[in-house]
């Protein structure tokens, strides 16, 4: 990263030392008048790049450092012995303690959904309560940017929590005798924000979660899904940049639950909060998490993206979990696409085209224009015939019926197109530019749980 980039982004931040939100970074990157201010920007800057940049300049939002929470009278002694590497079962037995969280370290990036996944009793709630200071760790530290949360006094901690962190619980925690609007405005009331302003913000938050029109209702008049939306609206109304969600969707029926997951993903696109989301449901974890930490009996046995964990489980326990995952709805076109080895221009000469295809051992070549926009594909035998005929260009050979997909499509969506055409699927960006190619063998290998399909490469090498 260049110094100038960092400075430009740094200036965009007001009031939060050392922190840049992804959303603010995007504004900064696009410049006030819409021109790019990044010195290296030749092409438009991708959202992903801007997000990554925001993380680099802001550092990490939340950080857990060797966190332990041991319940029981002799907890300190237990931590010492666990740290020394003693067997957990022995320590529990001898000291009569319950280690809920053991030696957990991780960092949460600004603007990401960080999922903590584990079975009931694995220490998830204990962990999240230490993240916002509701629970003091037996040992270890929690940092919010550069401030050590675990070193703050009660009053400071309360202040910081109100300004920065909201919680959403499984049991919606609504006040039964207050209206939906009043419930949604609750966190602001605690902060002593004037009535008009807090109702205004609560109204906007209710609108975001699709509850406009229900402001005057009481919680009892709402379905479970709607009540959880009020819980979410309350957290959003508080306008904190960090959301901690403890099994927030776990009590909901599957259909409503999926709706809430989709809505969270949707909201997150524009809000770009930093979210720690706790769940015992692996598919939910895979769907929501930018990264996932897997807790096993209080230990974070693996932290990584869904793809990383799926492809390289850290131990047998994780591997067993992964066996249940619907890979077709976790892996995306982006994850299995390959770079096109060569592309050709519709105006080029058949002889030259054929040479290019042979050089790259292609039987199918994608045709693109000068801006890399996809125009179609040509087949080698047809190009060869055109060369023999003496055609001037390959234009008349271009097949336009290419199956296309966007990079973020789940591979479940690629199965039908792959079955319909022998040609590889083209991965295009929002401007129709060709960014990759998905081969059928790669698709099948990915579904079957193979990291790579190198075994098939020789066979397939001359396809595209």
Ligand X SMILES: Nc1ncnc2c1ncn2[C@@H]1O[C@H](COP(=O)(O)OP(=O)(O)O)[C@@H](O)[C@H]1O
Does residue number 126 form part of the binding site for Mg ion (CB under 5 A)? no
Q: How far is the CB of 287 from ligand X (least distance, A)?
A: 19
Site for Mg ion in 392-451 (CB under 5 A): none
**Which stretch, 125-133, 145-153, 290-298, 410-418, contacts Mg ion (CB under 5 A)?**
125-133
Count CB-CB contacts under 10 A for residue 338.
Answer: 13
Q: Which is nearer to Mg ion, 13 or 297 (CB)?
A: 297
We find the least distance from the C-beta atom of residue 78 to ligand X, in angstroms, to be 13
Provide the Cα torsion 405, 409, 414, 417; round to 10°.
-30
Select 60 or 124, whichever has its Cβ closest to Mg ion.
Answer: 124
Handedness of CA 373, 265, 209, 325 (dihedral sign): positive
Is there a contact between 309 and 294 (Cβ–Cβ < 8 Å)? yes
- Using the minimum distance from each CB to ligand X, give the nearer residue, 171 or 451: 171
Q: Which residue in the shown chain puts its C-beta closest to Mg ion?
A: 125
Whichever of 71 and 175 has its CB closer to ligand X, that residue is 71
Does position 125 interact with Mg ion (CB under 5 A)? The reply is yes
Phi and psi, residue 24, nearest 5°: -70, -35
- Minimum CB separation of residue 61 from ligand X in Å reads 22
Interior angle at CA 101, CA 139 and CA 86, nearest 5: 75
DSSP state of 399: B
Q: How far is the CB of 214 from Mg ion (least distance, A)?
A: 28
Q: How many CA atoms lie less than 13 Å away from 223 in the CB half-sphere?
A: 7
Residue 326, token pair as written in the block: 């619907």
382-391 contact pairs (CB < 8 A, 24+): 383/350, 383/353, 383/354, 383/357, 384/350, 384/354, 386/350, 387/350, 387/351, 387/353, 387/354, 391/350
138 vs 274, beta carbon nearer ligand X: 138
118 binds, among Mg ion, ligand X, none (CB under 5 to 8 A by kind): ligand X
Between the two ends of the chain, the Cα-to-Cα distance in Å is 35
Which CB sits closer to ligand X, 89 or 416? 89
Strands (E) located in 48-134: 60-71, 98-109, 113-117
Residue-level length of the chain? 464
Using the contact rule CB under 5 A, the part of the chain among 42-50, 119-127, 299-307, 345-353 near Mg ion is 119-127
Q: Are 464 and 364 in contact (CB under 8 A)?
A: yes
Q: Which is nearer to ligand X, 126 or 166 (CB)?
A: 126
Q: Which does 122 bind (CB under 5 to 8 A by kind): ligand X, Mg ion, none?
A: ligand X
Minimum CB distance to ligand X, residue 122 (Å): 4
What's the rounded Cα separation, in Å, for the pair 13 and 6?
Answer: 11
CB of 132 vs Mg ion, minimal distance in Å:
14
Angle between helices 47-58 and 22-30 (to 10 degrees): 120
User: Which of Mg ion, ligand X, none does residue 71 bind (CB under 5 to 8 Å by kind)?
Assistant: ligand X
Report the nearest approach of Mg ion to the CB of residue 116 (Å).
10
Task: Calculate the dihedral angle through the C-alpha atoms of 374, 379, 384, 386, rounding to the nearest 10 degrees.
Answer: -60
Q: Which is nearer to ligand X, 123 or 313 (CB)?
A: 123
Handedness of CA 392, 396, 399, 404 (dihedral sign): positive
Contact partner at residue 126 from Mg ion, ligand X, none, CB < 5 to 8 Å by partner kind: ligand X
Q: Do residues 377 and 423 touch, judged by C-beta distance below 8 A?
A: yes
Rounded Cα distance between 97 and 106, Å, is: 24
> Is the backbone of residue 318 left (phi > 0), alpha (psi -120 to 50) or beta?
alpha
Quote the least distance from Cβ 297 to ligand X, whole Å.
9
Q: Which is nearer to ligand X, 136 or 315 (CB)?
A: 136
Identify what 383 binds: ligand X, Mg ion, none; CB under 5 to 8 Å per kind: none
Question: Residue 122 interacts with Mg ion (CB under 5 A)?
Answer: no
Angle at 327 between CA 321 and CA 328, to 5 degrees: 155
- Of the candidates 405, 408, 404, 402, the one whose C-alpha atom is nearest the C-alpha of residue 334 is 408
Which listed range, 37-45, 124-132, 263-271, 332-340, lies at the site for Mg ion (CB under 5 A)? 124-132
Which strand (E) or helix (H) includes residue 162? helix 154-164
- For residue 131, the minimal CB distance to ligand X (Å) is 12
Closest contact distance (angstroms) between CB of 93 and ligand X is: 15
| Positions in the binding site for ligand X (CB under 6 A) | 71, 98, 100, 118, 120-126
If the CB atoms of residues 99 and 111 are measured against ligand X, the closer one turns out to be 99
Which of Mg ion, ligand X, none does 98 bind, CB closer than 5 to 8 A by kind?
ligand X
Q: Report what 100 binds from Mg ion, ligand X, none; CB cut-off 5-8 Å by kind.
A: ligand X
Where along the sequence are the contacts to Mg ion (CB under 5 A)? 124-125
């Amino acid at each position: 990263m260049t110094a100038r980039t960092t400075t430009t982004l740094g200036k965009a931040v007001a009031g939060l030392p050392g922190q840049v939100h992804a959303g603010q970074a995007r504004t900064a990157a696009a410049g006030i008048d819409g021109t790019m201010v990044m010195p290296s920007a030749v092409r438009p800057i991708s959202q992903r790049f801007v997000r990554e940049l925001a993380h680099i300049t802001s550092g990490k939002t939340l950080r857990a450092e060797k966190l332990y929470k041991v319940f029981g009278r002799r907890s300190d002694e237990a931590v010492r012995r666990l740290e020394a590497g003693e067997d957990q079962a022995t320590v529990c037995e001898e000291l009569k303690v319950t280690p809920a969280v053991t030696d957990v370290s991780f960092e949460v990036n600004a603007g990401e959904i960080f999922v903590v996944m584990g079975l009931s009793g694995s220490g998830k709630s204990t962990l999240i309560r230490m993240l916002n200071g509701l629970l003091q760790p037996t040992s270890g530290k929690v940092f919010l940017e550069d401030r050590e949360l675990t070193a703050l006094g009660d009053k400071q901690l309360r202040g910081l929590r109100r300004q920065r962190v909201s919680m959403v619980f499984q049991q919606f925690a609504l006040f039964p005798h207050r209206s939906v609007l009043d419930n949604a405005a609750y966190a602001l009331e605690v902060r002593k924000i004037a009535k008009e302003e807090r109702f205004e913000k609560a109204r906007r938050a209710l609108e975001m979660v699709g509850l406009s029109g229900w402001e005057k209702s009481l919680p009892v008049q709402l379905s479970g899904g709607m009540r959880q939306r009020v819980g979410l609206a309350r957290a959003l109304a508080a306008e904190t940049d960090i959301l901690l969600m403890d099994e927030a969707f776990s009590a909901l029926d599957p259909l409503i639950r999926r709706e809430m997951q989709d809505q969270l993903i949707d909201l997150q696109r524009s809000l770009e909060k930093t979210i720690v989301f706790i769940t015992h449901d692996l598919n939910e974890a895979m769907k929501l998490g930018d990264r996932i930490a897997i807790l096993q009996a209080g230990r974070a046995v693996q932290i990584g993206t869904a793809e990383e964990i799926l492809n390289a489980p850290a131990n047998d326990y994780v591997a067993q979990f992964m066996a249940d995952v619907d890979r077709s709805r976790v892996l995306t076109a982006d994850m299995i696409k390959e770079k096109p080895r060569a592309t050709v221009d519709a105006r080029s000469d058949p002889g030259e085209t054929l040479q290019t295809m042979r050089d790259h051992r292609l039987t199918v070549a994608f045709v693109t224009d000068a801006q890399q926009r996809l125009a179609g594909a040509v087949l080698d035998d047809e190009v060869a015939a055109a060369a023999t005929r003496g055609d001037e260009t390959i234009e008349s050979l271009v097949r336009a019926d290419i199956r296309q997909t966007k990079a973020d499509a789940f591979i479940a969506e690629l199965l039908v197109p792959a079955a319909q055409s022998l040609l590889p699927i083209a991965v295009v960006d929002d401007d129709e530019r060709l960014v990759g190619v998905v081969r059928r063998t790669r698709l099948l290998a990915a579904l079957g749980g193979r990291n790579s399909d190198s075994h098939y490469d020789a066979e397939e090498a001359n396809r595209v």
